Amino acid sequence: MFAKILIANRGEIACRVIRTARRMGVRTVAVYSDADAGALHVEMADEAVHIGSSPVGESYLRGDRIVAAALATGAEAIHPGYGFLSENPDFVDQVTAAGLVFIGPSAASIRAMGLKDAAKRLMEKAGVPVVPGYHGEAQEIVLLASKAREIGYPVLIKARAGGGGKGMRRVEHPDDFSEALSGARREAKAAFGDDRVLVEKYVDKPRHIEVQVFGDIFGNVVHLFERDCSAQRRHQKVIEEAPAPGMTPALRKAMTEAAVKAAKAIDYSGAGTIEFIVDASQGLKADRFWFMEMNTRLQVEHPVTEMVTGTDLVEWQLRVASGEKLPKTQSEIALSGHAFEARIYAEDAAKGFLPATGTLHHLKFADTAPEGASIRIETGVRTGDVISPFYDPMIAKLVVHGKNRQAALEALGISLSQTEIAGSTVNTAFLAALAADADFSAGDIDTGLIGRHQQALTAVPPPSSEIVAAAALVASGAGAQAPTRDPWSSLAGYAHFHAMARRTRLRYGEDDILALVSMRPEGRFQVALDAPYDSALDLRAAPRLARWPGHVTVFSGTVGYSFAVPDPLARADEIAAGADSLRAPMPGLVKLVRAAKGETVIKGQPLLILEAMKMEHTISATHDGTIAEIATEGAQVTDGTVLVRFAEEAHG
């Protein structure tokens, strides 16, 4: 076994690897960028090496610096985690050329599966079923459009490199093919440095079911059953589970045998995942699944497999990479119970899942599980950490296990309701709504479920009068959660004729709220609210809330309602964005400008494309008008930067 390893990653996966390595007595070396100098994975590791500035191209994608850090610290092997360089065969070559061990498959195996088109041709030869489509080398638009017509619409354009939904477009009609292809190519080029694509038949009711495989250098390959990852938004997974709901013995046998066959075809060693698309339009059948791709690394959702099989896949990775045989044979691996993983992101679900940034001023995860269930939190952040625009905005993975699917689902809902995060917009309410969705609860899922139910799943009810009153109570300086308890700020001071009262202003979204807070007998308070709430309530401070700079967040169920508390001495902002400008919803890069100064545009017309968090976001006109100013291509903008300004006469 290795004495010391370097982890070429960050965040929750780096922390995850460190925990197993520590348990096994293996010392760890972390690497970090400027933005991650104070990160949790740096604190947890035995040693840490700075490798560059915050952008990934100057740090976590610099294989030369990572290898140099491993050699300088005496590490014997490098664990890549997932993402970044984990599936880069050139990096594997760098590692092995330096006399180090890459904790993962060989460069040859990664190359064999790294490009979706070549991998599918290889799988066809190995007798693994592949989805109908064009997987060839020629990339002329005329040829691709012709192939799409032959396949039959709707079709799916997919980047042949990478994953995570980047460089992917569904096309319903031939007239939309050209624009969808351009968008997919731009996104693929930005994310993977390769703009080549393949075109496949879009399955009407697709289920995304994948099989965890594991191989060693002695030619042994086993599977650890399947995971269902069909709950996706924008082609990215949201909630994963194991085993797959509705799985039949016949389909499981066919699918796991195909997965093992695929791994053996490339002499695979280490952890890998064979992803299949399954046509669920007529139920799960053994002849209605097709190979999509292989992820030649550990998956984000690997904890659900660990929960239902009782294994530690990171330990398996370390043992196999150090030359040991697989810890278990196929007959020794069994399923037990059911597990879910929910990905908690800093994002605004109600605004199309726009990534968010911010400081995590308050962070509290579930710490108790219902009887018979268990909870596991995978995170790389702590209270006070910053969600930056440089990396994936995942905050944590909430993993639960129960004796069956219903028990695990109940544990998931309870655990989400106990999660409290303030300082950034998060998706916990959306995750809870999805877990409670009737179709999801029944196991009737496919990759289009979230899209069909998106409005209902992302709708957040307005705060009740009780929630607003609780926020006002804390903002006023009263109640147990008040930041100070001196006589000048307390409402419990002396008043000769009338109870003391304090005016408090709050802002929720676009609403300005006026509240009058008065002290009542026995430590209670009366909060009188102005329109639109128009109510007076007697209450104590709410038990589930957080006070952070300039804000109060009140937690109700799985929703965190955040109220701004204006500084009464601060000068009001006299420059309002109004309807005469469009501002950047997040930090990013102006990738493409599709309109010009002086041009007359109509409502809904795409004006520019903003690239943020490795995804493209279209900024469209909110009304008819004439453009007075527009951002330039290549401009790096911050949250709130004016991207488009309209001429004043547009609203005359």
Reference 561, options 461, 438, 436, 411; nearest CA is 461
Using alpha carbons only, give the angle 216, 298, 157 rounded to the nearest 5 degrees: 115
What's the rounded Cα separation, in Å, for the pair 618 and 610?
Answer: 6
CB atoms < 10 A from the CB of 148, how many? 24
- Collect all residues with Cβ–Cβ distance below 8 Å to 132 and sequence separation of at least 6: 151, 200, 201, 290
Helix (H) or strand (E) holding 514: strand 511-519
Q: Give the torsion sign (CA, 429, 435, 437, 439).
A: positive
Using alpha carbons only, give the angle 22, 23, 28 rounded to the nearest 5 degrees: 15
Q: Give the torsion sign (CA, 600, 605, 609, 612).
A: positive
DSSP letters spanning 385-431: -EE-TTS--EEEEEEEEESSHHHHHHHHHHHHHT-EEESS---HHHH
Radius of gyration of the CA atoms of the chain, in A: 27
Reference 533, options 553, 551, 552, 513; nearest CA is 513
For tokens 């031939």, the residue is: 174
Using alpha carbons only, give the angle 173, 174, 178 rounded to the nearest 5 degrees: 115
| Burial class, 274, CB count within 10 angstroms (exposed 0-12 / middle 13-18 / buried 19+) | buried
Helix (H) or strand (E) holding 101: strand 101-102
What's the rounded Cα separation, in Å, for the pair 578 and 64?
Answer: 48
Phi, psi of 192 (to 5 degrees): -125, -5
- Say which amino acid occupies 388: S
Positions marked catalytic: 297
| Burial class, 471, CB count within 10 angstroms (exposed 0-12 / middle 13-18 / buried 19+) | buried
Reference 527, options 481, 565, 489, 474; nearest CA is 474
What's the rounded Cα separation, in Å, for the pair 534 and 362?
Answer: 30
Peptide bond into 587 cis (omega under 30): no
What's the rounded Cα separation, in Å, for the pair 378 and 400?
Answer: 11
Q: Are 29 and 49 in contact (CB under 8 A)?
A: yes
Query: What is the β-pairing status of strands 270-279 and 289-295?
Result: antiparallel
Cα–Cα distances in angstroms (integers) from residue 48 to residues 73, 76, 171, 402, in the given order: 9, 15, 46, 37
Q: Are 647 and 625 in contact (CB under 8 A)?
A: yes
Reference 16, options 273, 300, 238; nearest CA is 300
